Structure 1
């Protein structure tokens, strides 16, 4: 399937997942990033620059947002927003990157909180929803988070959510002009609940 910036499939997937959620079970909700989010998203990433610095380079210009948004093709990458349930305001962003099917059924997580609401537990709840969405709706088996060792808040976040530390990869990702070491953290659906979990159609039978 070719690349597409049409977010309608992700919108539908998220809506179907949330429809099964108990009312009032979380202070936050999820929705797909769309082109209409550009202005609010840019205002928040600009205001949050000191919060995540060069560790999570997010767009701060219209051209950069358009390039960022064009990555989300639903098949290999999804862009999600964590929003406050009461107001709809964006509290953070979570990307499901490098979705690989077949025998892997894996995706890589990228996420960032936005400064106005950071430090209130919204991203813990939001990332918890994304994990369940990825396992229950997308039928992935495994999620990975690559985190720079100095990023203690992010490490505490994945620890709270039950990720396991799988070691450190030297020079893993090119960020802010240099190849950076990253700790590798992961969680599988069987670490959340024993199952049985429904398999994705692309997963081999044997």
Structure 2
């Protein structure tokens, strides 16, 4: 995955006061990423599981090289240190123009607001550059930090799904949250070419 679309998107944004920037996950990130995953085990458990071996990382990278999937690193502006990760999964075009996001902070910089800023920028990137109409997030009810983050970014709660996703060895209940282009002040963009006229 190349970063040209991200570069175009970021170059067109006037606000240079952001503390974070985005780039796609790449092979060169393997060592730093795996070190951050190891350092963040307690932070992520039991909410999510990220690749923790070189083999798992390579499989993860291959998944996000596929069409309809994007893995974006949230990096601290200036230092370039990876502060978090936001994935846009299962992008569906046509009448839906939607994707699902998943995200994680990494322990060394957790609690400093970098991930909230990163998710906010990813939402705008998804709507303005990828021309999606909707993003969804599924969150376990006990994951209070994640629920607080989506509220802060502007997502609305849409429902509750028992046994929605298989995580940490069991089917887990999730709250369903979403945000659409009409809920965010974004630059006008033409519809994606796959959107039908009627």
Q: TM-score, normalised by structure 1?
A: 0.93
Residue 162 of structure 2: which of 143, 151, 170 is its match? 170
User: 2:126 matched to 1:134?
Assistant: yes
Query: How many residues get paired?
Result: 198
Query: Is 1:103–2:95 an aligned residue pair?
Result: yes
The runs of at least 4 consecutive aligned structure 1 residues that moved more than 6 Å come to: none
> Cα distance, 1:40 vs. partner?
0.2
Deviations 1:20-39 (A, max 9, x none): 12252300000000011000
* Per-residue CA distance 1:104-130 (angstroms, 9 max, x = gap): 000000100000000011111110000
**Deviation of the 1:56 alpha carbon:** 1.3
* 1:1-206 map, 5 Å: 7-8=1-2, 11-22=3-14, 24-73=16-65, 75-193=67-185, 197-206=189-198
What is the Cα-based RMSD across aligned positions, in Å? 1.3
Q: Is the Cα contact below 8 Å between 1:189 and 1:197 reproduced in 2?
A: no
Ranges in structure 2 where 5+ consecutive residues have no aligned partner: none
- Deviation sequence 1:103-162 (CA, Å, 0-9, x none): 000000010000000001111111000000000000000000000000000000000011
CA–CA distance in structure 1, aligned partners of residues 179 and 94 of structure 2: 18
3-state SS in 2 of match to 1:56: coil
